[in-house]
Amino acid sequence: MKRLLLAICLVTCFTGIYAQRSAQMSPAATAEAAYVKDHYVKTEQMIPMRDGAKLFCTIYSPKDKSQKFPILMTRTPYSAGPYGATYKNSLGQDTALTHEGFIFVYEDVRGRYMSEGDFINVRPQIDAVAKKAGVKTDESTDTYDTIDWLIKNLPNNNGRVGIEGISYPGFYSTASLPNAHPALKAVSPQAPVTEWFKGDDFHHNGVFFEMDAFAFLTAFGVPRPKPVPRYLNGIPNTYKDNYKFYLEMGALPNFKKKYLGDSVKFWDDMMNHPNYDSFWQRMSILPHLTNIKPAVLTVGGFFDAEDAYGAQKVYKAIEKQNPGAKNMLVLGPWYHGGWERSEGRYFGDQDFESNASLWFQENVQLPFFNYYLKDKGKMDLPEATIFISGENKWHKFATWPPKNTVEKTIYLQANGKLSFTAPKAATSFDEYVSDPATPVPYQDGVQQARTREYMLDDQRFASRRPDVKTYQTDALTEDITLTGPVMANLFSSTTGTDADYVVKLIDVFPDDFPNTDPTPYTKNAVMGGYQMLIRGEIFRGRFRNSFEHPEAFVPGKVTNIKYDLPDVGHTFKKGHRIMIQIQNTWFPLGDRNPQKFVDIYKAKDSDFQKATIRIYHDAAAPSSVKVTVLEP
């Protein structure tokens, strides 16, 4: 606690922040800020919930009184500010929404910033356990009560409400759907936090994402004693090399000893729940997405480093559990929130050849809210609006995955080969040593914080390591487009009793591919032979049969490890190659597995050990990756 308190510093007050930002704004941003003040009136309101707690809302109402406007709301744990007389510089998620005209409402969720009550991360829905404990509210009820007050008390509203939000606000968007208020007509969960053990933010398939968790919770996880317009900040990033910092940190208990003390409760919660027990299960919103009435537009980025899982799973859960629901999906070539935070043309070394974000804002998002909240325009949006990288074009599909697809299996072969033909050898495997003391980095170079570009970055640095096994096809004789699920199906053995596995799907560019011009993100890239990551995912082997009941490996025994990777939408062009990389560490993205069957959250530095790994590719143990191929 002392270490944390010594590192704490006071964040500049919000009015100061906004004044500084205004001074640095571009002419276009300055004009937009002026538009907001010229066309909207700001008010603030404490809205009572059914249990007596009051939640803080900032409300921007159009000055135009010649018509009634719908309400477009965002519920957030990141502040509804600026507070007081200072205005936001923009409203909604983009200027198209601002200029269209809505009553914009921003609410501090329970227990954050100016709202009363206690904050709970990804607050569970009221279930039998909660009812028995006397719990009366969850995020669905708070949303319902807020909407009910707004509809009855805001002048000049038309009786319809929409909700939007990216990331954590995306979770609150999703949580508005169960038992929704009748006035709630349109909801857009975007990169929604959804499942913090299997795929979003803090864990992927049970692997702890220590870099994101530590960076986020040392600020966000600091408790708030009472409603405040600003927070005390956490531990500053004093290190320059995150690989070195996390390697020297060692085993997970060292974080608490060296930095966190007893100040960050959710860190302690995670350390006390290493498996998918009721703590994590109750946090999942997916089983509660039933009887959905509002229209839903779920948005995600294929290259989202934080919540690619959430967007895809929310859409699929609603689709499966609500036949006939108005349920639509958008997946584009974006990083986390890139559809609102960039033009969407460039990301990393890649040029997607069009401003995908602007296209989405004008052709999908605005028409969605206009139709359901204003009866304006036609509802001709498809079920799935998908950007296919490689080809670099938008596609409209009646279903996701598309109906005209076929599952195909790509098999690992001897001598680094990869093909759609199953191996026939009696015995064939690759063998190497996985050493937690020298883990495979998740990206080339030196970084201070986790980058977003790693999601599609060049993998040639990894191909050169002896503890990364690489398999690739011959040069393709025709284009192959993948649209949908990817499933890894490995056969492996280890001399240890636990192991993690990383499977990466990669597009290898021809050696004579021309270099690109510099993008806004990176230097001029050498694209000949470029190994573009299309999808990578990690899996903690102990959970191969159950996330609830982990199992040790039997040393030397061939074991099947099968798991899903998030969906992809990518064309491997003629002349390119498809590559699969297999490795056992992805550091410091995921925490290191000691390669010994112990509680990793209680492990000691001495528990970490080398292990010899075998990846099999023979007739009896055909390691492979199943993909979903779009047919012409």
Do 412 and 326 belong together in one domain?
no
Let me know if residue 567 belongs to a domain: yes
d(CA 173, CA 189): 5
Tens of pLDDT, residue by residue over 546-558, are 999 999 999 999 9
One-letter identity of residue 294: P
**Helix axis angle, 242-249 to 210-220, nearest 10°:** 90
Asked if pLDDT for residue 13 goes beyond 90, the answer is: no
Let me know if residue 354 belongs to a domain: no
Q: For residue 523, name the pLDDT band (cuts at 50, 70, 90).
A: low
125-to-42, 131, 193 alpha-carbon distances in Å = 32, 10, 14
Asked if pLDDT for residue 12 goes beyond 80, the answer is: no
Give the burial string for 396-430 (b: 16+ CB within 10 Å, else e): ebeebbbeebeeeebbbbeeeebbeeebeeeebbb
Do 320 and 422 belong together in one domain?
no
Let me know if residue 181 belongs to a domain: yes
Q: What pLDDT was estimated at residue 235?
A: 66
Let me know if residue 483 belongs to a domain: yes
- Return the SS3 of 223: coil
Q: For residue 237, name the pLDDT band (cuts at 50, 70, 90).
A: low
24-28, 269-273, 467-471: segment of lowest average pLDDT: 24-28
Structural domain count, the chain = 2
Q: For residue 236, name the pLDDT band (cuts at 50, 70, 90).
A: low
Asked if pLDDT for residue 20 goes beyond 60, the answer is: no
Do 311 and 430 belong together in one domain?
no
121: domain CATH number is 3.40.50.1820
Do 111 and 22 belong together in one domain?
yes
Neighbours of 610 (CB within 10 A): 14
Do 11 and 146 belong together in one domain?
yes
Let me know if residue 258 belongs to a domain: no
Mean of the per-residue pLDDT values for the chain? 94
Do 304 and 421 belong together in one domain?
no
Do 412 and 290 belong together in one domain?
no
Q: What pLDDT was estimated at residue 230?
A: 87
Asked if pLDDT for residue 353 goes beyond 70, the answer is: yes
Do 411 and 322 belong together in one domain?
no
Whether 293 and 180 have beta carbons less than 8 Å apart is answered as yes
Let me know if residue 213 belongs to a domain: no
Enclosing domain of residue 105: 2-195+283-332
Give ∠ CA 448-444-502 in degrees, rounded to 5.
105
Whether 243 and 448 have beta carbons less than 8 Å apart is answered as no
Asked if pLDDT for residue 125 goes beyond 80, the answer is: yes
Do 319 and 455 belong together in one domain?
no
Q: What pLDDT was estimated at residue 203?
A: 98
Let me know if residue 221 belongs to a domain: no
Q: For residue 22, name the pLDDT band (cuts at 50, 70, 90).
A: very low
Q: What pLDDT was estimated at residue 11?
A: 32
Let me know if residue 189 belongs to a domain: yes
Q: For residue 238, name the pLDDT band (cuts at 50, 70, 90).
A: confident
482: domain CATH number is 2.60.120.260
- Identify the CA nearest to 139 among candidates 102, 173, 165, 164: 173
Do 534 and 424 belong together in one domain?
yes
Tens of pLDDT, residue by residue over 410-462, are 999 999 999 999 999 999 999 999 999 999 999 999 999 999 999 999 999 99
Do 68 and 162 belong together in one domain?
yes
Q: What pLDDT was estimated at residue 113?
A: 96
Q: What pLDDT was estimated at residue 515?
A: 83
d(CA 583, CA 522): 26
Do 583 and 455 belong together in one domain?
yes
Q: What pLDDT was estimated at residue 478?
A: 98
Give ∠ CA 260-263-266 in degrees, rounded to 5.
90
Taken in order 144, 145, 148, 151, the sign of the CA dihedral is negative
Whether 235 and 245 have beta carbons less than 8 Å apart is answered as no
d(CA 469, CA 432): 8
